[in-house]
């Protein structure tokens, strides 16, 4: 489906606006008056703003480790959203309202405005605290000062009202809102004609009003700067209100801080006493343990035991080595087979020194007895002499003696080494028993020292926190730092001069908006021919003006707008009519009732007759005939008689009108069967005779959308004029005419726009 495009004819809109200029002027005047009244009757409202910053104040939980503080949710830094909620809590606002006495609101009328009075008032409501605490609904009190008395109107809630004439306001009087009494603070200003308005709010209502009035927001994202602002007609009141809010918040925060600090101090003192006792017990337990096991320092002693064990093992290895060597030497000497053999070299040289690569210490390997070494050296010397010089008795004797001495010495050394080895073994067993117990001592000692150190750290930490908490308790830093005091913007927020200008603009645009809305919701044809041409698929033959109650507007010598427009229509129809037809039959119809088809047919026929042409006006709207009425003709001898009775001739139904050259064939009475009559053969015979006698035949027919009578005349007509009435014919009927045109059910269709305002036609000479 092709999308419809909307075209805007700017020139047509401008013409339409200029023609209706007075509506725009009237609308601008009305809205201008409303704007002026609004400006001079609306109380000036100003913006009050203050900026504060939340300080990082310790909340008394710093004696705990930071990780534990985070886990417990006791973090010292402030959460801005939570503090905003606390700052604007109902409790704080309630205290501010009570402290400033804002449950009663005073206003005085100055000109058209009601101006708030704070803190000085001309009159003041005298009431007990019980009255303000027990009032349940908002009480509105209007006071008008007259020459000798006061008119007091009281409205308590929405439905309870009372009126009172009071001679003296300072005396109590009963009202629907309770007993009221006033104090006149400035009698000079309470003069005749003065008007006052008081509102007494229940405390919960007043809290809700001021809570919604004061806006609290951060200056920017993730900022600790908070902006408090309000729009009010009483700036001084709101400045004091914001200041009191901050003061009460600081007092509450300081009270909470001191309470936390005092509780913290009590907790710290208790913990210090407990930790001191535990620390003393830990120290005493350590001393008792060392005394019980005869220890000085298990860590050092364990290290000494380890070093001693290494030394014992080294000594034992040396002793075992010498024992093995002595045992070997003894066995070697006692074996007679070795009598002439040199003693092993390891026994004839001094012990040598070896150095450890890891420890750097030196040790001896071999025999350490110098007499034995000397004896072994002497024995080997004699053996060598014996090997070189042969057997000598004296040498043999010396060898035997020396051999016996060596054996004796070796055995003695062997016994000595065995005793030394036994001593080392006994000492090693004892040391090993002590060394096996040492790790358990060290483990227990370490546990005791660890507990002692932990208690010492806790003790020092708590002592440190005691000092910090004392400093916190003596601190007077307020949680809120005021960056800028509450200030009033001197430029009022409302009303402004621009509001009058804005309403003037609205007044100028309002009629245009009404026109646009009317065009949108309107479903009927307007008086603009161009709008009709956009919707019609047939040609527009002319535009006709309203007749102002006249049925025949075309007369000889009449040059009115309506008459001239019919003459224009006549010219256009003559131009559009078929050229080869001697006597054209023009069929005039419409889509629905009330569009003026009979009016158009009558005046069209008259205008053609004024040209000197013989014209026949035939009334074939048999269901609702009106031609005889329009032309003041008798209803006898009509088309109904002609079509239903063959005895009637053309002369019997033709009626001469008062217009020269115009004959009328009126429809007559309404028949019971109009459709059947229009299908009579006599109709064709009638129009054949009319074509012979007249120059033009104009036929008034029934509406095509209501009945089918007009379609029965399509065979005798040469041209069809469809009448469309402005602000009457609907768009659906236009579509219906387009459909008839597409189906070619009527011959040569043209349209006429009827009922247009003469001013819209713009016709003149």
Q: What is the tens place of the pLDDT at every residue in 293-315?
A: 655 556 565 565 656 666 666 77
Q: What angle do CA 326, 327, 332 make, to 5 degrees?
A: 95
Q: What is the pLDDT of residue 279?
A: 75
User: Do the beta carbons of residue 653 and residue 639 sit within 8 Å?
Assistant: yes
Mean pLDDT score of the chain, rounded to an integer? 80
CA distance 225 to 481: 9
CA distance 528 to 543: 9
Any bridge partners for residue 153, and if so which?
Answer: 142, 163
Q: Residues of 180-208 as b/e, b for ≥16 C-beta within 10 angstroms?
A: bbbeeeeeeebeeebebbbbbbbbebbbe
Has residue 344 got a pLDDT over 60?
A: yes
pLDDT grade for 754, boundaries at 50, 70 and 90: very high
How do 104-110 and 113-116 pair as beta strands? antiparallel
CA distance 537 to 710: 20
Average pLDDT value for residue range 138-159: 92
CA distance 666 to 630: 10
Average pLDDT value for residue range 458-470: 76
Average pLDDT value for residue range 268-284: 75
Q: What is the pLDDT of residue 614?
A: 94
Q: pLDDT per residue over 547-603, tens digit each?
A: 777 788 888 877 888 888 999 999 999 888 888 888 999 999 999 988 889 999 999
User: Do the beta carbons of residue 492 and residue 44 sit within 8 Å?
Assistant: yes
Q: pLDDT per residue over 79-114, tens digit each?
A: 778 888 888 889 999 999 999 989 999 999 988 888
What residue segments make up the domains of the chain, in order of their start? Answer: 10-42+495-521, 104-200, 529-761
Has residue 484 got a pLDDT over 60?
A: yes
Please say whether the structural domain 529-761 has been given the CATH code 3.40.50.300.
Answer: yes
- Per cent of the chain over pLDDT 90 is 22
Q: What angle do CA 430, 432, 438 make, to 5 degrees?
A: 110
Q: What is the pLDDT of residue 609?
A: 93
Has residue 223 got a pLDDT over 90?
A: no
Has residue 497 got a pLDDT over 80?
A: no
Structure-derived torsion over alpha carbons of residues 435, 440, 441, 445, reported in degrees to the nearest 10: 150
User: Do the beta carbons of residue 722 and residue 532 sit within 8 Å?
Assistant: no
CA distance 616 to 694: 7
- Per cent of the chain over pLDDT 70 is 81
Q: What is the pLDDT of residue 207?
A: 93
Prediction pTM value: 0.55
CA distance 219 to 567: 78
Average pLDDT value for residue range 201-223: 88
Q: List % helix, strand, coil for the chain (3-state, nearest 5).
A: 50, 20, 30
Q: What is the pLDDT of residue 67?
A: 45
Q: What is the pLDDT of residue 423?
A: 76
Q: Which of 456, 121, 110, 125 is nearest to 280 (CA)?
A: 456
Q: Which residues contact 653 (CB under 8 A, 6 or more apart)?
A: 637, 638, 639, 641, 642, 665, 666
Has residue 430 got a pLDDT over 70?
A: no
Could you tell me the strand order of the sheet in which 749-756 lies?
539-545, 749-756, 719-725, 585-590, 696-700, 615-619, 662-665, 655-656
Between 558 and 61, name the one with better pLDDT: 558
Q: Which of 713, 639, 649, 697 is nearest to 670 (CA)?
A: 639
pLDDT grade for 361, boundaries at 50, 70 and 90: very low
CA 415 vs. chain centroid, Å, equals: 105
Q: What is the pLDDT of residue 588?
A: 94
Between 730 and 403, name the one with better pLDDT: 730
Average pLDDT value for residue range 45-70: 63
Length of the chain: 765
Instruction: Map tokens 């065995």 to a residue.
Output: 418
Average pLDDT value for residue range 174-195: 88
Q: Residues of 639-672 as b/e, b for ≥16 C-beta within 10 angstroms?
A: bbbbbeeeebeeeebbbebebebbbbbbbbeebe
CA distance 75 to 132: 41
pLDDT grade for 63, boundaries at 50, 70 and 90: very low
pLDDT grade for 527, boundaries at 50, 70 and 90: confident
Between 721 and 668, name the one with better pLDDT: 721
Q: Residues of 226-242 as b/e, b for ≥16 C-beta within 10 angstroms?
A: bbbbbbbbbbebbbbbb
CA distance 42 to 762: 47
Q: Which of 692, 704, 706 is nearest to 747 (CA)?
A: 704
* Joined tokens for residue 483: 């960056």
> For 346, which DSSP code?
G
What value does the CA radius of gyration of the chain take, rounded to a whole number of Å? 66
């Amino acid at each position: 489906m092709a999308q419809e495009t909307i075209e805007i004819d700017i020139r047509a809109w401008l013409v339409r606006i200029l023609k209706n200029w007075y509506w725009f002027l009237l609308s601008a005047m009305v809205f201008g008056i409303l704007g002026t009244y609004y400006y001079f009757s609306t109380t000036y409202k100003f913006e009050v703003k203050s900026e504060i910053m939340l300080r990082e104040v310790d909340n008394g939980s710093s004696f705990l480790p930071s990780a534990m503080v985070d886990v417990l949710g006791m973090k010292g830094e402030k959460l801005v959203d939570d503090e905003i909620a606390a700052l604007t809590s109902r409790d704080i606002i309630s205290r501010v309202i009570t402290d400033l006495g804002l449950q009663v609101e005073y206003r005085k009328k100055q000109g058209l405005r009601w101006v708030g009075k704070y803190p000085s008032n001309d009159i003041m409501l005298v009431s007990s605290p019980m009255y303000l605490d027990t009032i349940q609904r908002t009480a509105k009190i209007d006071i008008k000062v007259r020459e000798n008395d006061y008119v007091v109107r009281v409205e308590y809630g929405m439905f309870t009202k009372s009126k009172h004439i009071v001679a003296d306001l300072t005396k109590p009087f009963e009202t629907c809102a309770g007993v009221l009494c006033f104090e006149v603070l400035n009698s000079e200003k309470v003069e005749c004609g003065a008007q006052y308005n008081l509102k007494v709010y229940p405390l919960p209502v007043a809290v809700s009003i001021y809570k919604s009035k004061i806006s609290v927001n951060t200056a920017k994202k993730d900022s600790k700067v908070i902006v408090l602002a309000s729009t009010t007609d009483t700036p001084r009141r709101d400045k004091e209100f914001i200041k009191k809010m901050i003061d009460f918040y600081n007092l509450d925060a300081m009270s909470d801080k001191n309470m936390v600090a005092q509780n913290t101090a009590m907790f710290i003192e208790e913990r210090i006493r407990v930790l001191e006792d535990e620390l003393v017990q830990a120290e005493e337990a350590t001393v008792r343990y060392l005394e019980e096991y005869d220890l000085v320092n298990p860590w050092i002693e364990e290290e000494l035991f380890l070093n001693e064990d290494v030394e014992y093992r080294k000594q034992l290895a040396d002793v075992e080595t010498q024992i093995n060597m002595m045992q070997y030497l003894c066995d070697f000497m006692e074996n007679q087979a070795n009598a002439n053999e040199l003693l092993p070299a390891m026994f004839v040289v001094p012990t040598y020194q070896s150095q450890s690569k890891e420890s750097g210490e030196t040790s001896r390997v071999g025999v350490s007895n110098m007499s034995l070494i000397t004896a072994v050296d002497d024995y080997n010397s004699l053996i060598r002499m014996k090997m070189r010089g042969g057997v000598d008795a004296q040498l043999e004797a010396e060898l035997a003696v020396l051999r016996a001495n060596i054996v004796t010495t070796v055995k003695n050394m062997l016994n000595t080494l065995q005793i030394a080895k036994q001593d080392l073994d006994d000492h090693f067993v004892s040391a090993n028993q002590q060394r096996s117990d040492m790790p358990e001592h060290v483990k227990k000692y370490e546990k005791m020292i660890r507990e002692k150190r932990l208690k010492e750290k806790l003790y020092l930490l708590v002592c440190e926190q005691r000092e910090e908490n004392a400093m916190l308790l003596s601190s007077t830093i307020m949680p809120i730092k005021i960056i800028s005091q509450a200030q009033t913007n001197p430029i009022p927020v409302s009303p402004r001069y621009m509001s009058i200008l804005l309403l003037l603009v609205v007044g100028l645009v309002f009629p245009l908006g009404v026109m646009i809305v009317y065009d949108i919701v309107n479903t009927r044809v307007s008086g603009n021919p161009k709008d009709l041409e956009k919707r019609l698929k047939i040609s527009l033959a002319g535009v006709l003006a309203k007749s102002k109650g006249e049925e025949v507007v075309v007369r000889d010598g009449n040059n009115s707008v309506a008459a001239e427009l019919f003459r224009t229509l006549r010219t256009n129809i003559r131009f559009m009519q078929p050229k080869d037809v001697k006597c054209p039959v023009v069929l005039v119809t419409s889509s629905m009732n009330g569009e003026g088809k009979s009016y158009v047919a009558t005046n069209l026929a008259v205008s053609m007759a004024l040209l000197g042409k013989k014209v026949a006006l035939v009334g074939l709207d048999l269901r609702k005939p009106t031609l005889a009425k329009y032309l003041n003709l008798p209803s006898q001898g009509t088309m109904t008689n002609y079509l239903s009775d063959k005895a009637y001739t053309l002369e019997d139904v033709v009626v001469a009108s008062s217009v020269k050259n115009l004959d009328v064939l009126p429809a007559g009475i309404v028949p019971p069967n109009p459709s059947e009559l229009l299908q009579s053969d006599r109709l064709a015979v009638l129009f054949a005779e009319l074509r012979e006698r007249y120059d033009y035949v104009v036929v008034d027919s029934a509406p095509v959308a209501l009945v089918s009578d007009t379609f029965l005349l399509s065979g005798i007509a040469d041209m069809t004029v469809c009448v469309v009435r402005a602000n009457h014919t609907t768009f659906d009927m236009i579509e219906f005419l387009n459909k008839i045109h597409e189906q070619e059910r009527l011959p040569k269709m043209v349209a006429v726009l009827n009922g247009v305002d003469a001013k819209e036609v713009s016709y003149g000479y």
